[in-house]
Amino acid sequence: MGPSINEFFPGAILFAGTPFEMNRIMLIRVLVVIVLALVFVLGTRNLKIIPTRGQVALEFAYTFVRDSIVIGTLGEKDGKRFLPILMTIFFVTLGMDLTGTIPLLQIAGTSVIGLPLLMSLLAYVLFIYAGIKQHGLKYFKNALILPGLNPLMAIFLALLEFLSTFIVRPVTLTLRLLMNMVAGHLLLSLCFLATNFFFFTVLAGGNPLGLLGIGTFAFGVAFTVLELFVAALQAYVITILTAIYLSMAIAEEH
Amino acid sequence: MNVVGQLAPLAFGLAAIGSGIGVGIIVGKTIESVARQPELQGRLQALMFLGIALTEALAFIAIAVAFIPFPAP
């Protein structure tokens, strides 16, 4: 019995039968939100000039997002405006992704489509809002029509631009995050299930072929480390893409 | 002879060839450009991520195809 897509739809635990039915993944999401809130409230409650170790770690994460993602893409003035929401996107995504590798939780909060969809809708509404606020309804003209082309070509390119800006962007933001987490979870569970099978069925049955389990276990550990990296990378990518889409929306017309 | 199985993994494999090559070219060219003009790094990096995001889209759509419940023929 290999891992299957059903792993992402476990049975209900709390409030079964009501619209607020919660399964394992929902509970993990709630837990992540509580932990994130606690870390930020307790971590920033009494800041010191000479920082403690926890404060240094928090400040490192905060300044990394602020300087290298937000201000690096949007510039000083607009970066400050959109900093809170981009920071939220980064840390929520990071926290939800990391649960994929934490023992006993072992499934990412972002591995069911609801949360990635929410993130990308947030980004979608945000960059359209920013564009309209900056340019008014001319934003759509700027986004779709490239100047200096003959009309036939302009219509064709407007269609392409519409597809890539207003349809492909949210779809890829969602699918990138979701599929990275789904594929990561399936890979890990495949490795560890194979280890279990080789050790406790094949080797226990007296077949030396079961020693292959050492190899699958090593791969499982290696992929766990890879998943940690992927979690951070996905949080980085979704934040920088949202920032880039924002900066394109508020840029001067071309 | 009957071949039984899913075509979806094959679809993903084929799509991954294209986007793999595409992402490789984008990143390689960005590295070349940064080596020539290091002062443009920030701007080039933004363009690189945008290009990767668009190119990768095909591969992600191909993974998602496996989970679309097509009606059986």
Mean pLDDT of A28-35: 94
Which residues of chain B neighbour A120 with C-beta distances below 8 Å? none
Q: Does B49 touch chain A (CB under 8 A)?
A: yes
Interval A221-240: pLDDT, tens: 999 998 998 899 899 999 99
Q: Are the Cβ atoms of A72 and B63 closer than 8 angstroms?
A: no
**B3 backbone φψ class: left, alpha, beta (φ>0; ψ -120 to 50):** beta
> Domain-by-domain residue ranges, chain B?
12-64
Phi then psi dihedrals of residue A106, to 5 deg: 60, 15
User: pTM of the full predicted structure?
Assistant: 0.86
Closest approach of chain B CAs to the CA of A143, in angstroms?
15
Give the nearest partner residue to B53 out of A5, A73, A241, using CB atoms: A241
Closest approach of chain A CAs to the CA of B43, in angstroms?
8
Which residues of chain B neighbour A242 with C-beta distances below 8 Å? none
Residues 6 or more apart whose Cβ sits within 8 Å of residue A95: A32, A33, A35, A36, A109
Among A18, A211, A35, CA closest to A109: A35
Interval A59-112: pLDDT, tens: 999 999 998 889 988 888 989 999 999 999 999 999 999 998 998 888 888 999
Dihedral over alpha carbons A239, A244, A245, A247 (to 10 degrees) = 120
Quick one: closest CA in B to A244, which residue?
A: B46
Q: How confident is the model at residue A129 (pLDDT cuts 50, 70, 90)?
A: very high
Dihedral over alpha carbons B22, B59, A157, B44 (to 10 degrees) = -40
Interval A175-222: pLDDT, tens: 889 988 988 898 898 899 999 999 998 888 888 888 889 999 999 999
Closest approach of chain B CAs to the CA of A50, in angstroms?
32
Q: Are the Cβ atoms of B57 and A171 closer than 8 angstroms?
A: yes
Give the nearest partner residue to B57 out of A168, A183, A237, using CB atoms: A168
The answer to whether residue A1 scores a pLDDT higher than 70 is no
Q: Does B46 touch chain A (CB under 8 A)?
A: yes
Architecture of domain B12-64 in this structure: Up-down Bundle (1.20)
The residues of chain B scoring below 50 in pLDDT are: none
- Could you report the predicted ipTM of this complex, rounded to two decimals? 0.71
Interval A6-20: pLDDT, tens: 888 888 888 877 888
